[in-house]
């Protein structure tokens, strides 16, 4: 890494945080725009957006301004024509330790209903998002990870839905997404006891797709994000829509939905280019059209 890039990394991420060895930061969108997250474009082609939750003192507790910044950053990145995939991680020892309990403590039923509390979480734009869970992912933190498309966990990560210990229940999809990911028994156990599970248990249960050494976590997530970003953004969007459809429908309807999307790829230049390139034994040059 060049001197400037290395200085920049140290300044931005501190000594306890990831230092991607071969990845160069480009534009810093954080300056002046986001107060609670760091936003960078990374990877060889700078086609991956990296959002780092940056309130380590509160273990990245998800207060309204932090959620607003995550949303804004994800949407801004999804509008960037160069960015094909986004990675979200946390600075310090937590990915996110949940919704901000201090903010919630004085809230009333009226506040929750009138403000439709938590309803705006999860609107993070069109690009696929990889959660690189570096530490605690509890309550809303676990829910945030599960709103993403892929979850990688560091070997130090812990997942949990401890709301029951606060006299409440998950409110940002925890009971629903966790049950779909790990099955009823483990989801029920986690939601009813508040017990946390390790990265290895999360891997065995299907909540995460990979467990990586803590120091390599973000680098590994970025590598996968680059693979996604190097594919056609148009077709990636369709593939993501098809997989997401599996959570919303029956098998027959889901397969019909998939087939329609598959058929629709035959109206794109990128489908033609992909198959032409295979037949001509060359690398495809996708144009997102």
Which positions lie near ligand CAA, rule CB under 6 A? 58-59, 61, 97-102, 118, 136, 138-140, 143, 162-163, 166, 170-172, 174
Orientation angle between helical segments 174-182 and 184-193, nearest 10 degrees: 140
Q: Which is nearer to ligand CAA, 61 or 70 (CB)?
A: 61
**Residue entry with tokens 């309807």:** 253
- Which is the catalytic residue, given 90, 92, 98, 140? 140
Q: Catalytic pick from 40, 163, 219, 220?
A: 163
Q: Which of 143, 219, 220, 226 is catalytic?
A: 143
Q: How far is the CB of 288 from ligand CAA (least distance, A)?
A: 35
Contacts of residue 113, defined as CB under 8 A and 6 or more positions apart, other chains included, come to: none
CB of 90 within 8 A of CB of 134?
yes
Rounded Cα distance between 186 and 274, Å, is 41
Provide, rounded to whole angstroms, the least separation between the CB of residue 71 and ligand CAA. Answer: 15
Burial of 260 (C-beta count, 10 Å sphere; 0-12/13-18/19+)? exposed
Q: Are 53 and 70 in contact (CB under 8 A)?
A: yes
Smallest separation, CB 101 to ligand CAA (Å)? 4
**3-state SS, residue 176:** helix
Q: Which is nearer to ligand CAA, 49 or 122 (CB)?
A: 122
Per annotation, catalytic residue among 61, 99, 157, 239: 99
User: How far, in Å, CA of 222 to CA of 48, rounded?
Assistant: 7
- The question of whether 143 is a catalytic residue gets the answer yes
Choice between 101 and 284, CB closer to ligand CAA = 101
Least CB distance to ligand CAA at residue 2 (A)? 35
Closer to ligand CAA by CB, 101 or 204: give it: 101
For 167-184, the DSSP string reads T----SSHHHHHHHHH-H
Q: Residue 163 catalytic?
A: yes
140 flagged as catalytic:
yes
Q: What is the smallest separation between the CB atom of 182 and ligand CAA, expressed in angstroms?
A: 17
Q: How far apart are CA 229 and CA 185, in angstroms?
A: 36
In the bound state with ligand CAA, the residue whose beta carbon lies nearer, of 186 and 236, is 186
Among 120, 104, 95, 119, CA closest to 196: 95
Active-site residue set:
99, 140, 143, 163
């Amino acid at each position: 890494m060049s001197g400037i890039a290395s200085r920049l990394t140290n300044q931005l991420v501190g000594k306890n945080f990831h230092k991607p060895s071969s990845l160069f930061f480009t534009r810093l969108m954080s300056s002046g725009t986001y107060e609670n997250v760091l936003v960078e474009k990374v990877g060889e082609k700078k086609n991956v957006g990296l959002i780092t939750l940056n309130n380590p003192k509160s273990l990245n507790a998800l207060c309204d301004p932090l959620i607003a910044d995550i949303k804004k950053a994800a949407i801004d990145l999804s509008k960037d024509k160069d960015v094909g995939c986004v990675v979200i991680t946390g600075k310090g020892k937590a990915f996110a330790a949940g919704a901000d309990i201090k903010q919630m403590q004085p809230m009333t039923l009226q506040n929750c209903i009138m403000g439709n509390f938590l309803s705006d979480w999860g609107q993070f734009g069109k690009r696929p998002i990889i959660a690189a869970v570096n530490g605690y992912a509890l309550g809303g933190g676990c829910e945030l990870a599960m709103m993403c498309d892929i979850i990688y966990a560091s070997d130090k990560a812990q997942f949990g839905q401890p709301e029951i210990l606060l006299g409440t229940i998950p409110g940002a999809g925890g009971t629903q997404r966790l049950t779909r990911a790990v099955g009823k028994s483990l989801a029920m156990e986690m939601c009813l006891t508040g017990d946390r599970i390790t990265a290895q248990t999360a891997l065995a249960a299907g909540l995460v797709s990979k467990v990586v050494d803590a120091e390599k976590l973000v680098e590994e997530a970025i590598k996968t994000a680059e693979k996604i970003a190097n594919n056609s953004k148009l077709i990636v969007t369709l593939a993501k829509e098809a997989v997401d459809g599996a959570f919303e429908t029956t098998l027959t309807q889901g397969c019909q939905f998939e087939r329609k999307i598959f058929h629709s790829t035959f109206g794109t230049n990128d489908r033609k280019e992909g198959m032409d390139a295979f037949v001509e034994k060359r690398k495809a040059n996708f144009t997102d059209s």
